[in-house]
Structure 1
Amino acid sequence: MTYMRQRVRKPAGSSPAAAAPKESDIVILAAEDTLLYPPRDGNGINLMGNFGIKSGASMHKIYHTKSFLSAPFESDGEEDGITITQSIEVRIPGNKLEQKEFLQGWLGVNCYVFHKSCKDDFWEVIGTPCAPVQIMPTKQDNNDGRFFTVNFQQFAKSELLPANYSGAIIEADPTAIADAAAVAVDGETSLQYKLPSLDVTAAVSFDSLSNLDQGQFITIYGAGGADPATISSGDAGAATVVLKSGTQWTGLEEAAIEFQYFDAGATKYLIEVSRS
């Protein structure tokens, strides 16, 4: 999709360039734990959908001193060769064992970092699938204070600015589904569901789709088995499923598929956004 150039107006508020207070936690996700990195929309910034993560993995919240967070990006290069380097730096106060273990455990790990302003309704994501970030820690321990300064730095340059993410911060396992042929989706309970492991395959069918907003995203995870469950385009109980190119999805272990929900009145649609 081609970007349609838009006019940029002055942001609302009397002082739009003023510093924005930050959330007290950043969120870190290891790239190797990521099954789905949501695609960007046609304008190149908003991520469409939720992150999908491997079984047993989660996103990790890390406390930081809010007033010291800095999340710049830089550009360099010559004409027709401009690239972007993303980064975020935070200060972690103290000198605790678990803080050192965190730094040691994440050293050399490709990851994505999420941070949020209290003024915004989205998380900003530092790092991309082809250019993740890694931690570069330093420590101060003297008469002026005890704290770790952690810079998350891209080593591969890209053409991408940090993305905006309005999806879920995942800290729990997806809701387990007992019967692949009778999936009940309730937006008030969960937007992430895991199919059962099967020895005899079954076509996924949706018994009900409730408490969902237009355009909401739903993630289905596979669980494998000798003959895993499948999702095909067409009538699937309470929903009509639309898959990219009509290609069937198989619920293998560590596979995931993301749908966007639309209610057209007589028909409810689940339209594929991405898969792994």
Structure 2
Amino acid sequence: MSYSNPSIVEKGRGSAESKSFEIIIMDVNDIATFPTRDSSNVAMSGNFVMKDGKYVTKMQVSSSKTSLPVTSEGEEDNVSISALPEFSFPGSTLAFEEFVANWTNRSVIVAVQVGACGGGSSFWRVYGSQCAPLSLLLEAQNNNDATMGLIKFQQFAKTDLMPGRYSGTFTLATVADTVDADATTVDVSNGNGEYQLQDNTGATEITDLTNATNNGKYTILGSGGSNPATISTGGNFVLVGGVDWTGTSGATITFNAIDAGSSDHVFIEISRT
């Protein structure tokens, strides 16, 4: 459905937005598949799928010092949008200094989880794109008052895109958990993230995700092999178009968990590959 002009834009909350102390950084060249934006150009569907052997980088920052400004510039009928996220990293560890040394002059995308506190529904604000990536710029403080690195990201290419809203998961070097072979349920008590299936000894259908939380985002990774697990529409799962999923090698499926009451959840498909 295309964007339609609203007659009234409802007010949002003007107070400070809650932000996670963890951010995600991705090298554009490590991404195999990008999520797409809907016709209104902000909400993103699908997942960031990394190339084989490539992973995102997770960094802890001082959430109270995170700044996510968006500016626009240009002449009449020729306005572009720039997103300039800034983060404060306390201290100056060897790992941080090596990160700066190796990520300077890369084309990157940055994601920040917002709205996760206070019972709200969280999502990721995504800064930068394949065509207009970000570049890392460092300012370091090391004096009698503090030791910290101020990580600024500059968007040199002009774009007409606002930062995106992403509800998928990210590929880390380690998965949230590995599911036992022949299991018919997946325990997602380790939280949002990716859960790796294993090849089964026989035909196996996954019927539920246990220990989920409302609005949790869970990605199931296929195992491949001769007996990959399947997920069918119906029961606790709502699959797009009612199309069943098979966990072949490289296949993924991501769900959003909705609390259905009585400690039960319904899992709605967000995306699959």
How far off its partner does 1:184 sit? 0.4
Query: What are the within-5 Å matches in structure 2 for residues 26-45 of structure 1?
Result: 26-31=22-27, 39-40=36-37, 43-45=40-42
Q: Specify the code of the residue in structure 1 equivalent to 2:80.
A: T
How far off its partner does 1:274 sit? 2.2
Question: Aligned-pair RMSD on alpha carbons?
Answer: 4.5
Pair 241,146 (structure 1): closer, same or farther in 2 beyond 3 Å = closer
Given that 1:59 and 1:170 are in contact with CA atoms closer than 8 Å, whether structure 2 keeps it comes out as: no
Task: Give the TM-score normalised by structure 2.
Answer: 0.67
How far off its partner does 1:27 sit? 0.8
Q: Which residue of 2 aligns with 1:3?
A: 3
Q: What is the rounded CA distance, in whole Å, between the counterparts of 2:233 and 2:242 in structure 1? A: 16
Which structure 2 segments of 5+ residues have no match? Answer: none
How far off its partner does 1:42 sit? 5.9
Pair 96,215 (structure 1): closer, same or farther in 2 beyond 3 Å = closer
Q: Which residue of 2 aligns with 1:157?
A: 158
Query: What are the within-5 Å matches in structure 2 for residues 9-20 of structure 1?
Result: 9-12=10-13, 16=14, 20=16
Pair 274,158 (structure 1): closer, same or farther in 2 beyond 3 Å = farther
How far off its partner does 1:39 sit? 4.9
Q: Which residue of 2 aligns with 1:71?
A: 68
How far off its partner does 1:169 sit? 7.8
Given that 1:121 and 1:166 are in contact with CA atoms closer than 8 Å, whether structure 2 keeps it comes out as: no
Q: Specify the code of the residue in structure 2 equivalent to 1:222.
A: G
Q: Which residue of 2 aligns with 1:62?
A: 60
Aligned mate of 1:251, from 248, 252, 264: 248
Pair 87,115 (structure 1): closer, same or farther in 2 beyond 3 Å = farther
Q: Specify the code of the residue in structure 1 equivalent to 2:132.
A: A
Q: Which residue of 2 aligns with 1:185?
A: 186
Query: What are the within-5 Å matches in structure 2 for residues 209-228 of structure 1?
Result: 209-210=209-210, 212=212, 217-225=217-225, 227=226
Instruction: Report sequence identity in percent.
Output: 29
Given that 1:72 and 1:87 are in contact with CA atoms closer than 8 Å, whether structure 2 keeps it comes out as: yes
Given that 2:220 and 2:254 are in contact with CA atoms closer than 8 Å, whether structure 1 keeps it comes out as: yes
Q: Specify the code of the residue in structure 2 equivalent to 1:114.
A: V
Q: Specify the code of the residue in structure 2 equivalent to 1:173.
A: V
1:110-140 CA distance string (max 9 Å, x none): 2323164778764433223543323122335
Q: Which residue of 2 aligns with 1:194?
A: 196
The reply on whether 1:102 has 2:103 as its aligned counterpart is no
Pair 143,260 (structure 1): closer, same or farther in 2 beyond 3 Å = closer
Partner secondary structure for residue 84 of structure 2: strand
Pair 134,221 (structure 1): closer, same or farther in 2 beyond 3 Å = farther
Which structure 1 segments of 5+ residues have no match? Answer: none
1:15-53 CA distance string (max 9 Å, x none): x3x6x3765734123245657755556654345587666
